[in-house]
Amino acid sequence: MVAVSENTVATEGASLRVKDVTKVFAARDSTAERMLALDAMSFAVAPGELVSIIGPSGCGKSTLLRLIGGLDFPTSGELYVGTEAITGPSSERGLVFQDPCLFPWLTVRRNIQAGLVALGVLREKRSEVNYFLRLVGLEGFADVYPHHLSGGMAQRVALARALITHPKILLLDEPLGALDAFTRMRMQDEVLDLWQARLTTTLLVTHDIDEAIYMSRRILIMTPRPGRVERSIEVDLPRPRDRSSAEFLDLRSEILKLFTSPVS
Ligand SMILES: Nc1ncnc2c1ncn2[C@@H]1O[C@H](COP(=O)(O)OP(=O)(O)OP(=O)(O)O)[C@@H](O)[C@H]1O
Ligand SMILES: [Mg+2]
């Protein structure tokens, strides 16, 4: 069980600011000239905050995370980590996708240390690899190859790989979406433990309203495409959160109503 106190841990996270970000894609078919994915989207995340993003399929959640990750560029608008504009990928921003995307030819240890190798700092940071193997509970699996891992274990490797470079921002795009309900609930606690250990600023994209309420301090609800922030909802419940408490269920039905009420 996690007992998270957000005020007593030194924060590794940085603030994030998304300002009037618009993203237009060339249309994938010939029926339209262009496709507006994000429309002047703006929001800010405080250092160490864990914010969930929920919204209908195709509203631009992955597009947004790719822009913050520096894997793509906005058509207009600006993105900042702290006071620095995002201009490309950086080890300061760790990404984890629904598919853990491990290197199948590398052992668990080598997958986790890949970021340190890329930065040329493996020699001095080697002890961190053992620390992160322990942190995600895989010290007994260091020499195993990915095809021997369960979905939950593979996702823990992906998390350790993203965290080992001590990112200031962690971007999670439905990282638990492919897991069964029980593994998923256990992994939610594990992700919360990891977050608690460093207070990395975390953006979690999820389709699961319960997951968003259970994990985050704040939930951003996006409009259907073109994506913008429709609502920002504070989750002011004590941790560890009780998924069956009246307050939890009230918030859940309030959010569900936003998705089921007819469009005005
Ligand atoms: N490279 C691209 N070229 C053209 N259109 C794209 C591209 N990437 C995304 N899109 C379109 O932009 C819109 C937003 O896509 P995105 O993947 O960000 O949605 P999403 O909110 O992550 O959806 P889901 O919940 O299904 O993962 C979609 O209509 C998608 O088809
Ligand atoms: Mg997506």
pTM reported for the whole predicted model: 0.91
CA of 44 relative to ligand 2 center, distance in Å: 20
Asked whether residue 238 is assigned to any structural domain, the reply reads yes
One-letter amino acid of 260: T
Amino acid identity at 36:
L
Could you read off the pLDDT of 15-29 as tens digits, one per residue? 999 999 999 998 777
Q: Is 40 within the bounds of a domain?
A: yes
Give, for ligand 1, the residue of 31, 54, 62 to mutate: max count of ligand atoms closer than 8 Å to Cβ: 62
* C-alpha to C-alpha distance for 242 and 66, rounded to whole angstroms: 32
**pLDDT band at residue 214 under the 50/70/90 scheme:** very high
Residue 66 is assigned to a structural domain of this protein:
yes
DSSP state of 16: E
- 180 is a domain residue: yes
CA of 1 to the centre of ligand 2 (A): 29
More confident residue, 4 or 67: 67
Of ligand 1's listed atoms, the one at least distance from the Cα of 63 is: 18
Mutate to test the pocket of ligand 1, among 33, 36, 39, 59 (most ligand atoms within 8 A of CB): 59
Alpha helix positions (H), the chain: 61-69, 108-112, 114-119, 122-135, 151-163, 181-198, 209-215, 246-260
pLDDT in tens, 165-209: 889 999 999 999 888 888 889 889 988 988 988 899 999 999 999
Q: Is 61 in the pocket of ligand 1 (CB under 6 A)?
A: yes
Q: How many domains does the chain have?
A: 1
* 198 CB near ligand 1 (under 6 Å): no
- 201 in a domain, yes or no? yes
Buried b (16+ CB within 10 A) or exposed e, 117-141: eeeeeeeebeebbeebbebbebeeb
Structural domain boundaries enclosing 43: 16-26+35-99+167-216+227-260
Tell me, using a 6 A CB cutoff, whether residue 71 lines ligand 1: no
CA 97–ligand 2 middle distance (angstroms): 9
Mean pLDDT of the chain: 91
Tell me, what CATH number does 84's domain have? 3.40.50.300
> For atom 4 of ligand 1, which residue has the closest CA?
25
| Angle formed at CA 59 by CA 58 and CA 65, multiple of 5 degrees | 95
Distance between CA 162 and CA 113 in Å, rounded? Answer: 10
Ligand 1 centre to CA of 97 (Å) is 14
Distance, CA of 37 to CA of 22 (rounded, Å): 7
Residue 244 domain flag = yes
Nearest protein CA to atom 20 of ligand 1, as residue: 58
Residue 177 in any domain: the answer is: yes
47 located within any domain: yes
